[in-house]
Amino acid sequence: MSRTFVGMPVFPPPTHPAFPEAARDAVHNHTLRSNLRHATHTIRAKRARAVAELSDWDRLREAGRLIKDHTLRHLDRYLVQLEESVTAAGGTVHWAVDAAEANRIVAELVKATGESEVVKVKSMATQEIGLNEALLEEGIRAYETDLAELIVQLGNDRPSHILVPAIHRNRGEIRDIFRTEMGAWGRPAPDGLTDTPAELAEAARLHLREKFLRAKVGISGANFMVAETGTLVVVESEGNGRMCLTLPETLISVVGIEKTVPTWQDLEVFLQTLPRSSTAERMNPYTSMWTGTTDEDGPRAFHLVLLDNGRTDALADQVGRQALRCIRCSACLNVCPVYERAGGHAYGSVYPGPIGAILSPQLRGTASEIDASLPYASSLCGACYEVCPVAIDIPEVLVHLRERVVEGGVAVRQGNKVVLKPAKGHAAERAAMRAARWAFSHPGALRTGQRLASRTRRLHPRTLPGPGRAWSATRDLPAAPAEPFRDWWQRTRGGKDGAK
Ligand code: SF4
């Protein structure tokens, strides 16, 4: 069967709509809502139990925050130390300022091996830079080997969760994807495949095994990089990652610069907090660590591509830089009421949920409609901060970024041109504030207005007209009371000042 191979769509598509628009379909999709609700509630309950087992959880959380803050403050020093350690251990370090440079470096490294296909362990950094698509343009096919990533790739879909990229799919949908798509990518699904987890896992295992045994080049990300020894760490649950990291002759790791930790002692903290926060496990099932290359064991060549791609801009922001502490556990997604209803695709980024709402606008800037809308994709309830194992104050950063959006404006496409316009609601918000200031400084007019509102309350519209329509489309307008508070106070308490 001939087939045009496509990579996963690049994030964000150039015309990705703003969050409210992108979320509209998702909130009306009952299957998606049900899949998400079931999955997030199950994981969040398990996480709460796993965390409650530790009497020193708060101290671990604080230690994680301090280690990350210290490392970020001295990142220049630790990155140089990391490069020296990796080089001394037989690896080669490449520095990539942005996605284009990282993709070019990786494509050239793969081409130098003479290979035209690679296996990949789940890596958010390579999704962020659109590596699969860039490799495809160079005639190189990338095969995802993480089970959820495989489902996403076979379904020509997009990941919607940090830890469970196919969280929006149920078992029946996965069975159908395997049945119809696997054969086009390699070994087909077994005849009569059902939707039982064991059969689906076996189908994926057989499909992937032939790719692992054939692949000469592996591509990975990393959860941590230890500067003192140049050791990289991948934390995963299936063992597929370990096959990718050990079987190929050449290993290329693309890692964001913020994943550095100074020492093994620092790593110890995160190896306790990450599994409990992500999969609610006391200890992670497969924690793979490698330091350069070793004779007669594992890859013969190791390349580390250190990725900036907006991270140093985020680092320069005193409030926003805390987002770089993130260890991608996804706990904040699983407790977020907005994510639970909107799903991950509406965020227009490989980083969905609360962390995506503060990370994407910092990595990509707030000029596009989607990035300008992300800081508003939150009720500021603070549940994300409560569960974050490195204490990122996500609501604080959201408010900070809203300020940036209001100050900076939004780039809007007009025909072939992109023009900068004030953020939506900015002018209306200013007018509303001016009206409120006038009313509060004219008490007589305010009283008359309140009485008028009470007397006409049955005639009030249920939604606001004009620019206020978007605000009232998703909220109930507060009903005017039958009697204004001041009148009630005067009637029940006596004089104007409240004295009987
Ligand atoms: S922001 Fe915190 S809770 Fe969310 S993924 Fe990152 S580390 Fe986990």
Does the Cβ of 50 fall within 6 Å of ligand 1?
no
Distance 397 CA to ligand 1 centre (A): 13
Probe target for ligand 1 pocket from 329, 349, 359, 385, with the most ligand atoms within 8 Å of CB? 329
420 pLDDT tier (thresholds 50, 70, 90) = low
Percent of the chain with pLDDT strictly greater than 90: 77
Give 15 Cα–ligand 1 centroid separation in angstroms: 28
Arithmetic mean of pLDDT, 137-141 = 97
Do 123 and 244 lie in one domain? The reply is yes
Task: Answer yes or no: is pLDDT of 432 > 50.
Answer: yes
- Give the pTM: 0.84
Spatial separation of the C-alpha atoms in residues 265 and 85, rounded to whole Å: 17
Q: Are residues 417 and 450 in the same domain?
A: no
Per-residue confidence (pLDDT) for residue 373, from 0 to 100: 94
Query: Does residue 168 surpass a pLDDT of 90?
Result: no
My answer on whether 352 and 468 are in the same domain is no
Q: How far apart are CA 251 and CA 110, in angstroms?
A: 10
Ligand 1 midpoint to CA 325 (Å): 8
Residue spans of alpha helices (H) in 186-263: 197-214, 240-246
CA gap 412, 421 in Å, rounded: 7
Query: In angstroms, how far is CA 190 from the centroid of its own chain?
Result: 34
Q: Nearest to residue 162, comparing CAs of 120, 124, 130?
A: 124
Residue 331 CA: which ligand 1 atom is closest? 3
Task: Tell me the CA–centroid distance for residue 100 and ligand 1, in Å.
Answer: 27
Query: Ligand 1: which atom is nearest the Cα of residue 277?
Result: 8
Q: Is 343 in the pocket of ligand 1 (CB under 6 A)?
A: no
Give yes or no: residues 114 and 97 share one domain: yes
Query: Quick check: 3 pLDDT over 60?
Result: no
Residues 493 and 383 placed together within one structural domain of the fold? no
Residue 40 has pLDDT above 60, yes or no: yes
- Regarding whether 292 and 248 lie in a shared domain, the answer is yes
pLDDT of 7 reads 40
Check if 389 has its Cβ closer than 6 Å to any atom of ligand 1: yes
Instruction: Return the SS3 of 375.
Output: helix
Ligand 1: centre distance to CA 235 (Å): 15
Q: pLDDT digits over 260-299, tens only?
A: 999 999 999 999 999 999 999 999 999 999 999 998 889 9
**pLDDT 10s digits, 63-84:** 999 999 999 999 999 999 999 9
Q: Is 328 in the pocket of ligand 1 (CB under 6 A)?
A: yes
Do 365 and 480 sit in the same domain of this protein?
A: no
Does 451 lie in the same domain as 415? no
- The verdict on the CB of residue 387 being under 6 Å from ligand 1 is yes
Give φ, ψ of 142 to 5 degrees.
Answer: -110, 125
208 lines ligand 1 (CB under 6 A): no
Q: Indicate the residue type of 4.
A: T
Residues 462 and 332 in one domain: no
Domain around 489: 443-498
Q: How far apart are CA 375 and CA 364, in angstroms?
A: 13
> Are 128 and 153 within one domain?
yes
Contacts of the segment 44-47: beta carbons below 8 A, 24+ positions apart: 44/331, 44/334, 44/335, 44/387, 46/279, 46/280, 47/276, 47/277, 47/278, 47/280, 47/331, 47/334, 47/387
**Cα separation of the two ends of the chain:** 90
Q: Which residues contact 162 (CB under 8 A, 6 or more apart)?
A: 124, 328, 329, 330, 333, 351, 352, 353, 355
* 381 and 487 fall within a common domain: no
- Residue 120 Cα, ligand 1 centroid: separation in angstroms? 23
Q: Single out the residue of 381, 339, 328 nearest to residue 37, CA to CA.
A: 339
Report residue 1's pLDDT band, with 50, 70 and 90 as the boundaries.
very low
Average of per-residue pLDDT values in the chain:
90
Q: Is the pLDDT of residue 422 over 70?
A: no
Pocket test for ligand 1, best of 392, 393, 398 (most atoms within 8 A of CB): 392
DSSP letter string, 38-94: HHHHHHHHHHHHHHHT-TTHHHHHHHHHHHHHHHHHTHHHHHHHHHHHHHHTT-EEE
Q: Is the CB of 43 under 6 A from ligand 1?
A: no
Give the residue, by CA position, lying nearest to ligand 1 atom 3.
388
- Say how many Å lie between the CA of residue 327 and the centre of ligand 1: 6
CATH of residue 88: 3.40.50.10420
Boundary residue ending a domain (409, 441, 473): 441
Would the CB of 330 count as within 6 Å of ligand 1? yes
Number of separate domains in the chain: 2
pLDDT at residue 431, as a whole number: 83
The reply to whether 17 and 90 lie within a common domain is yes
Q: 301-337, pLDDT tens digit by residue?
A: 999 999 999 999 999 999 999 999 999 999 999 999 9
Q: Which residues lie below 8 Å from residue 394, measured CB to CB, with a gap of 6+?
A: 332, 354, 355, 357, 358, 378, 384, 385, 388
Final residue of a domain: which of 441, 459, 474? 441
pLDDT in tens, 340-360: 999 999 999 999 999 999 999
Q: What is the pLDDT of residue 418?
A: 54
Residue after which a domain boundary falls, among 393, 411, 441: 441
Residue 408: per-residue pLDDT: 77
pLDDT at 143: 96
Distance from Cα 353 to the centre of ligand 1, integer Å: 10
